[in-house]
Amino acid sequence: MSSTVTSTGSTRRSDLARLVLRAGVGGTLAAHGAQKLFGAFGGGGLEGTQGAMHAMGFRPGRRNAVLAGVAETGGGALLALGLATPAAGAAAAAAMAAAATVHAPNGFWATSGGLEYPAVLALASTALAVAGPGRYSLDRALGHALDKPWMPAVALLAAGAGAAWTIRQRQAAVAADAQAAADAPADAPQAPVAS
């Protein structure tokens, strides 16, 4: 009897821990996405974000700003709610993996502009996609219709492939920009940046 009580108590703690993690990680991601899409919380909105995305090598800037904003806002909100948890976690993890590549040249620590922060969000989102939402979630309330056992693997593979493609495209754009800058005469006028 005591092992059943202990097991039930452990399961409840695990479900509560997932709720807290989902709310924190999902809320943070949704807020960052809202900065990108709507200019909320002091963000640049879509216009500001598209220029920043272009400058970072994510081309075209507007499309990548929308994709990143939707992955963060939508993925974060769905994670917080515990709805479509595998897809939500995978989308958020993919966006954060791409963001981590921007920060990687600065090392690991966030205090130096490194990849620590997006990497932690990517890992937490991946863990939630794999572990599932727990008892206190909309997925459970809906009978796990959007949280089938096969979904984490499919969602993470698809999102990982999308992130890998985006990262490769960004690396090619950054390399092309560096080559163009190296080839340009020192007194040549700079071309305007297009989004």
Domain ranges of the chain: 16-175
Q: Which of 77, 86, 97, 94 is nearest to 27 (CA)?
A: 77
On whether the CB atoms of residues 57 and 177 are closer than 8 A, the answer is yes
Burial zone of 75 (CB within 10 Å; 0-12 exposed, 13-18 middle, 19+ buried): buried
**pLDDT value of residue 189:** 61
All residue ranges of the chain with pLDDT < 50 are 1-2, 195
Q: Give me the phi and psi of 76, to 5 degrees please.
A: -65, -45
Residues in the chain: 195
Q: Which residues contact 137 (CB under 8 A, 6 or more apart)?
A: 18, 19, 22, 81, 82, 83, 85
3-state helix, strand, coil in the chain (%, to 5): 75, 0, 25
Cα(125)–Cα(144) distance, integer angstroms? 18
First vs last C-alpha separation in the chain: 65
What is the per-residue pLDDT for 1?
A: 47
Query: Which pLDDT score is estimated for 6?
Result: 62
- Provide the pLDDT for residue 8: 80
